[in-house]
Amino acid sequence: MSIIRTSYVAVGLIMSAFASAGAQMRPDVGGPEAAVTSDHPLASAAGARVLRSGGNAIDAAITMAGVLAVVRPHMNGLGGDMFMLYREARTGKVYALNASGPSGSMATPEHVRAQGHQRMPQSGVLSATIPGAVQGWADALKRFGTISFADALQPAVAYAENGFPVSTVLNEDIAGSRSAISADASMVSSFLPNGAAPVPGTVLKLPDLARTLRAVARNGPAELYTGETGQRIAEFVEREKGMFNARDLAGFKTLWQEPISTTYHGARVIGFPPNTQSLALLMQLNMAEQFDLKAMGHNSADYLHTLVELKKLAFVDRDRHITDPQTYNTPLDRLLSKEYAKELVRTVKPTATSSSGEEKDDGGDTVFLSVIDREGNMVSLIQSLYAAFGSKRMVPGTGIVLHNRGGLFSLDASNVNVIAPNKRTYHTLAPAMVLRQDGSPLMTIGSPGGDGQTMTLLQVLNNMLVFGMMPQAAVEAARYRSMENGRLMLDASIPEAVRIQLTQRGHEVRALTAPSSEMGGAQVVWVSNGMRITGADPRREAYGIAW
């Protein structure tokens, strides 16, 4: 075991000991003016600077999104997708911006099978759909921002060009993907200097990405879709027999949608409509409301078993109904109704687990950020490459890693998410926000974690709305994650007696020995008594700033 790995595990064991003792790892961070959270301290700091300079929540959010594309390069970037919820303080209206890219004109089961695949590949250019994040950044700024696109990208350009310090987490993440990176010469040049992951504390510079970011800042999003960079992307994808071409790239447009919502313990929880899995979160909330969770006790066997069973029920409908909203009309009214929730919970067995609605074992390599500014404008934004380093392919000379969201399509013609030309696939990304009954801000909330996102959000919401925890305690509290084949991951601090009871009910329990990014990385900005108070999960690199 290397010195780096030993120190990383030691830190994890220390965190586990704190969690077991019920101690809070980080302090409550709050202030009366504004607050930001993101999946990296440098991004949070950049967003705070924008707000302090007079920018609004959208200005800060897009600035942070650009920085995250540089400092968390394996989890998001110019080659990925983005979803954003925005509450406009002036009107109280909530907007949903879908910046996920469709498949392209060559996306058919026949095209995939012709290249020797009987299932959708999970890596390679064939798994890449059109990247939507950059157009989403620009469209959000154009509609609601006050600063220019070039100004918003300036911090990202600076970090890519001048470098940023490599954290222990980034070192470990790059090292963990070393074999995949080694298969792509462009990725080797960027992420494996001297043939190894950059050492913590050294400076990582990304010159190809810096040049691309400067061009995008100078020429606007058109650079990525019709400009020189777009031409490079299209030529690379076509050469590798991917799903889209230059015409598809040039025709990409984001989609403004109506959010979906439900009520929960006197608050309105707002989620993103399909093609995201936010529906599954709201369904779990509707079902959870049918139980006296507080009486069960926080993280008791009854509590955990109940929530796991509700998740399975929600995932059945998620997998049956969520895909591109422009190709399929998801029956939202029925699925989000309280009456349907009551029907579903009648099937829950209090002493036995079911086998339905299992999730995939995905990596959940994603970043989340949120902002609540002085006026009460709220942003909940999530963006991703899906797997670590997405498709594992970088467009030569650009520094752009293409995502692999196309891997979530199916080749089965009976599946609602069957691959088809110019179709958006199902997405795990699920940003959320919560309003009080009068429509005023209560919190922004979100988390990375792939299929586990809705489970993380449900638990954090319960921690705050049911059990009365402050945001930081709520995100640090022990969690579960229900996996495929009946497997159930539990944080180390959940008592052994609870694990035994869950095993007796049929769950295949796996107890973690240290905090893990597999449990997500939740973030919250909560409004209470005029204060903006953050919660930022130490399981990843999340960081909150308020003043």
In angstroms, the CA 79 to CA 404 distance is 9
In angstroms, the CA 451 to CA 482 distance is 9
**Contact status, residue 249 vs residue 226, Cβ threshold 8 Å:** yes
Can you list the positions of beta strands (E) in 140-271? 164-165, 203-204, 255-257, 260-264, 267-271
Distance from the Cα of residue 234 to its chain's centroid = 26
User: φ, ψ for residue 88 (rounded to 5)?
Assistant: -90, 120
Cross-strand bridge partners of residue 527: 532
**Contact status, residue 381 vs residue 68, Cβ threshold 8 Å:** no
Cross-strand bridge partners of residue 523: 446, 536
In angstroms, the CA 19 to CA 480 distance is 14
Q: Quick one: three-class SS letters along 153-202?
A: HHHHHHHHHHCEECCHHHHHHHHHCHHHHHCCHHHHHHHCHHHCCCCCCC
**At 475, which helix (H) or strand (E)?**
helix 471-476
Tokens of 90: 């002036």
**Contact status, residue 406 vs residue 111, Cβ threshold 8 Å:** no
| Active-site residue, from 129, 254, 306, 366 | 366
Strands 523-528 and 441-446: antiparallel
User: Up-side HSE of residue 167: CA atoms within 13 Å toward CB?
Assistant: 13
The Cα-based distances of 128 to 80, 122, 238, 392 in angstroms read 9, 9, 12, 10
In angstroms, the CA 378 to CA 289 distance is 26
How many CB atoms within 10 Å of residue 117? 15
Residue with tokens 């949070």: 44
**Contact status, residue 398 vs residue 233, Cβ threshold 8 Å:** yes
In angstroms, the CA 518 to CA 490 distance is 11
Q: Which amino acid is residue 318, in one-letter code? A: R
108 flagged as catalytic: no
In angstroms, the CA 336 to CA 271 distance is 11
The residues annotated as belonging to the active site are 366
